[in-house]
Amino acid sequence: MHKLSSRAPRLRPSATKRYTASALAGAAVGGALLFGVLSSAVFARASISADTFRQLDLFGEVFEQVHENYVTDPEDGELIKGAINGMLDTLDPHSSYMTAEDFQTMQEQTRGTFAGLGIQIVMDNEGDDKGYVKIVAPIEDTPADRAGVLTNDLIVEIDGEAVLGMTIDEAISKLKGEKGTKVDIKILRDRDAEPFELTIVRDIVTVQAVRWRAEGEFAYVRIATFSEQAEDGVKKAIKKLSKEIPGGPKGLILDLRSNPGGLLDQAVSVSDIFLEGGEIVSTRGRRPRDTLREMGTPGDKLNGKPIIVLINGGSASASEIVAGALQDRNRALLLGTKSFGKGSVQTVIPLQNGLQGALRLTTAR
């Protein structure tokens, strides 16, 4: 029996920050992202105490000793990356460092096309699943989805190497790869059973953010991910279905099942389509000035017609923002099972204009 150990606005390529309401690994790592103009330079040195600088001196001394005296010649870049990952691992499962390559991949993912497996993952830093790669949701019609990967599956082994002890970035680097290459993984689904093996062939993942169809007199709209195409896709769906259904749809079924999240601005914009203005979502950071209130604009595109929102355990981050906003305003009825439960916002902060990668940091809840 396999036992779990108890240890363990629009995208611009530079000078931006983006908030993700979740991780897509080529695998795919993701959530509610938000990009803006925050750079690492905004963190003023004046806010760092003298004691902290002394501790940084300690780090520098340890680094120097390792560099000069370790039994083999270490790679300095790997030492620094390991130290950064170790620091972020103490915070939460969603904060992480991205190399320049990873940062570029993330930008491709938000545009809806990338190479990989098509899964969104996290790595818990507490609880029974600590230290393992957990599936938030497979993206529909991707290699992982076709292989039968499910929400809350744990990846315990990648190409014969145990996941326990890896960082999430290390796991992602092993999961992603070129189109046509294979990856062997072991999946633990029933926590009291043995893991089983899957071989998945990586492919180009093109995520169609929005699909729609008429269901009798009702409109059915499926949002697979909150990429940059989500808002325009929903508006297009409503326009076409209003012409296709005689007299227009009598109501809407909005399907957010197994939608792992995406861009915060897209979640706000999609919610605004069905609301008559007012507050859609608010986030709070550790300082009062970090409080963010996203307001809608007047004009419900469905003119008050009933909405049912479908959710499940794979509905995370930006999906939960939309479902929660429509429910809280008594605009929609939620049907399904308990959603994933990710109530935080990550800011993507490019480092040295992205040349040194980026920091994905939880900045609000």
Cα 237 to Cα 210: distance, rounded to the nearest angstrom: 8
Catalytic residue status for 342: yes
Cα 329 to Cα 340: distance, rounded to the nearest angstrom: 21
* Per annotation, catalytic residue among 22, 317, 319, 339: 317
Angle ∠(32,33,37) on CA atoms, nearest 5: 150
Question: Which of 197, 179, 180 has its CA nearest to residue 188?
Answer: 197
Cα 307 to Cα 243: distance, rounded to the nearest angstrom: 18
Q: How far apart are the first and last CA of the chain?
A: 38
| Sign of the four-CA dihedral 266, 271, 277, 282 | negative
Kind plus residue range of the DSSP H or E element containing 194: none
Identity of the residue numbered 224: A
User: How many other C-beta atoms lie within 10 A of the C-beta of residue 299?
Assistant: 12
* Per annotation, catalytic residue among 134, 176, 186, 342: 342
Joined together, the tokens standing for residue 295 give 């307001």
Joined together, the tokens standing for residue 343 give 């109530």
Catalytic residue status for 317: yes
Cβ-contact 168, 23 below 8 angstroms: yes
DSSP states along 18-81: EEEE---BTTT--SEEEE-S--GGGS-GGGS-HHHHHHHHHHHHHHHHHHHHSSS---HHHHHH
Identity of the residue numbered 294: E
Cβ-contact 273, 355 below 8 angstroms: no
Q: Give the residue numbers annotated as catalytic, written as ranges.
A: 317, 328, 342
